[in-house]
Amino acid sequence: MTMQPLPVQPYDLTPNKVVILDRDGVINEDSENYIKSLEEWRPYPQAIEAIARLSLHGWTVAVATNQSGLARGYFDEATLQLMHDNLCERVSAAGGSIAHIAYCPHGPDDDCACRKPKVGLLDQIQQRLNLENLRGAWMVGDSGRDLEAGIAKGCHPVLVRTGKGKKTEARENLERVWIFDDLAAFVDHLIEAERRAPQ
């Protein structure tokens, strides 16, 4: 088996050049019945291209995802790995990369430290990227749990209206939360804002 080298992180990696994404409802279609197989894992085409554009413009992209279907026995870790391998392959084919995928395998009653809105997944990403903190990074999700976890780590919270996003927008207090129709719209904004920023 040939081991692939880990992607080299930029020397000047700072939190404001890090984008952390929830998975289901942000990168791929969500389901009330859980995403239980590679066949059921259907990425939004514009999300794959958006992740690649972030990479090409110098952002480091990571994923933080609750996967309680593991604890419920709906799928196993090998199946989850197939989904994540497919995600990374699609992003790579589009010219980008994902630095790390952190997932919580526990159920809501397991009292773990990683299930969002707790910050364990973001701590894992912070350590993997060798950052002192995540203040100023971007946390993109479709639920209140995602936003809470990001805010607790000092990230800019971003809600997308895909997945559960519209329901979240209707019922949550979203003061100081950035809201976009989908991941591609957020990426458009981020790249354009950097382009317009004074040098």
Catalytic residue flag (residue 24): yes
Rounded Cα gap, residues 76 and 69, in angstroms: 8
Q: Pull the structure tokens for residue 53.
A: 């554009």
pLDDT of the residue at 199: 65
Q: Which of 12, 22, 110, 146 is catalytic?
A: 22
Q: Where is pLDDT greater, at 93 or 7?
A: 93
81-95 burial, b if ≥16 CB within 10 A, otherwise e?
eebbeebbebbeebe
pLDDT (average), residues 67-81 = 97
Express each pLDDT in 76-128 by its tens digit.
999 999 999 999 999 999 999 999 999 999 999 999 999 999 999 999 999 99
Has 22 been annotated as catalytic? Answer: yes
DSSP H or E stretch at residue 100? strand 100-104
Q: Which percentage of the chain shows pLDDT scores above 70? A: 93
pLDDT of residue 14: 86
CA distance 91 to 52: 6
Asked if 138 contacts 158 with a C-beta cutoff of 8 angstroms, the reply is yes
Residue 41 neighbours by CB under 8 Å, 6+ apart = 28, 35, 83, 86, 87
Q: Which of 24, 30, 142, 146 is catalytic?
A: 24
CATH number for 15-196: choose from 3.20.20.70, 3.40.50.1000, 3.90.550.10, 3.90.70.10.
3.40.50.1000
